[in-house]
């Protein structure tokens, strides 16, 4: 009923899951991940108990293949299950029960597991694997996961149609304000084109919550400081300290994660210049 990719970033820091399905709110059932531990997807008559149980096993350092073996061996309904697991290191692992609706299957490699059921055909997981392997290893994990998911969607995806999609990524201390490990938790619960909508949400998420690239920061002085002061004043932010005025405005616009004292993120500047 679903196709998903569970993967680890090239540097091993981030872990995540991207999934789509002709199923209401698939993100509420399939994905699970814990920073510095691992990630998994449970689907095809999903056994939601796999999520806490799988993470508990991964927390002990159990290899992905052994996590899959342990979870499915203890499940009397395993023939109807599908599961993908990735740990902190090593290859991902996938399982497709003999009773899953066709087409069903998966592919794995170093740091990833791709799986799906009720698919248009094996070309769906093949396209996902190709997109994953050809993506830039240095790119954000969320971007790479979404590219793989959209490749599967473009190859036919769930043969029943489209309804929902989800993207979940974790990394130690990289969530909002540095107080969470959840980098992205985006869900499209009911939409005619959920993967495209998920891409739109990720673009907004990146703008609002992405960290600025230090190489692109502009010194907030001279003519730029004068322009920013004028724009902020026009919006009613008149604190004498420019960084304070900018922070007041950015907090209202939900751009506070992109602020660096004494500097300007070009994306924030573009937003400020927009009438």
Q: For 2-209, CATH number?
A: 3.60.20.10
Q: pLDDT at position 149, please? A: 98
Instruction: Check: CB of residue 97 under 8 Å from CB of residue 115.
Output: no
Per-residue pLDDT reduced to its tens digit, 30-88: 999 999 999 999 999 999 999 999 999 999 999 999 999 999 999 999 999 999 999 99
Q: What is the pTM of this model?
A: 0.92
Q: pLDDT at position 40, please? A: 98
Q: CB under 8 Å to 79, separation ≥6 — which residues?
A: 97, 98, 99, 100
Mean pLDDT along residues 26-32: 98
Per-residue pLDDT reduced to its tens digit, 168-201: 999 999 999 899 999 999 999 999 999 999 999 9
| Dihedral-angle region of residue 121 (phi above 0 means left; psi in -120 to 50 means alpha; beta otherwise) | left
**Cα–Cα nearest to 168, from 134, 205, 138, 139:** 205
Average pLDDT over the chain, rounded to whole? 97
DSSP string computed for the chain:
-EEEEEEE-TTS--EEEEEEESSTTGGGTSEEEETTTEEEEEESS--TTHHHHHHHHHHTT--HHHHHHHHHHT-TTGGG-EEEEEESSSB-EEEE-TTSPSS-EEEEEBTEEEEESSBS-THHHHHHHHHHHHS-TTS-HHHHHHHHHHHHHHTT-BTT---EEEEEEE-TT-SGGGS-SEEEEEEE-S-SSHHHHHHHHHHHHHHHHPPPPGGG-EE--HHHHHHHHHHHHHTT---SSHHHHHHHHHHHTT-GGG--TTEE-HHHHHHHH--
| pLDDT surpassing 70 at residue 1 | no
215: buried, middle or exposed (CB in 10 Å: 19+, 13-18, 0-12)? exposed
Domain boundaries, the chain: 2-209, 214-273
**Cα–Cα nearest to 87, from 115, 56, 50:** 56
% residues pLDDT > 70 (the chain): 100
Per-residue pLDDT reduced to its tens digit, 105-146: 999 999 999 999 999 999 999 999 999 999 999 999 999 999
Instruction: Check: CB of residue 161 under 8 Å from CB of residue 182.
Output: no
Per-residue pLDDT reduced to its tens digit, 211-260: 899 999 999 999 999 999 999 999 999 999 999 999 999 999 999 999 99
């Amino acid at each position: 009923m679903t196709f998903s990719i569970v993967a680890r970033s090239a540097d091993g820091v981030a872990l995540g899951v991207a999934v789509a399905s002709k199923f209401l709110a698939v993100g509420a059932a399939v994905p699970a991940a814990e920073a510095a531990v691992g990630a998994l997807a449970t689907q095809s008559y999903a056994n939601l108990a796999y999520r806490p149980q799988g993470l508990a096993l991964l927390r002990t350092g159990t290899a992905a293949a052994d996590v899959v073996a342990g979870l499915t061996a203890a499940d009397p309904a395993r023939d109807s299950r599908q599961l993908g697991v990735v740990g902190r290191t090593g290859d991902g692992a996938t399982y497709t029960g003999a009773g899953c609706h066709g087409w069903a299957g998966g592919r794995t490699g170093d740091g990833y597991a791709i799986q799906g059921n009720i698919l248009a055909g094996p070309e769906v997981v093949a396209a996902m694997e190709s997109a994953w392997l050809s993506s830039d290893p240095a790119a954000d994990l969320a971007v790479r996961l979404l590219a793989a998911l959209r490749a599967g969607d473009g190859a036919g995806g769930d043969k029943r149609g489209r309804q929902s999609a989800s993207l979940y990524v974790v990394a130690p201390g990289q969530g909002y304000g540095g107080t969470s490990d959840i980098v992205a938790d985006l869900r499209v619960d009911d939409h005619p084109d959920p993967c495209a909508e998920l891409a739109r949400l990720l673009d907004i998420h990146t703008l609002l919550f992405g960290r600025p690239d230090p190489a692109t920061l502009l010194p907030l002085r001279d003519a730029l400081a004068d322009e920013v002061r004028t724009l902020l004043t026009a919006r009613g932010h008149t604190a004498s300290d420019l960084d304070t005025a900018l922070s007041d405005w950015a907090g209202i616009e939900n751009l506070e994660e992109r602020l660096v004292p004494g500097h300007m993120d070009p994306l924030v500047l573009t937003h400020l210049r927009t009438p």
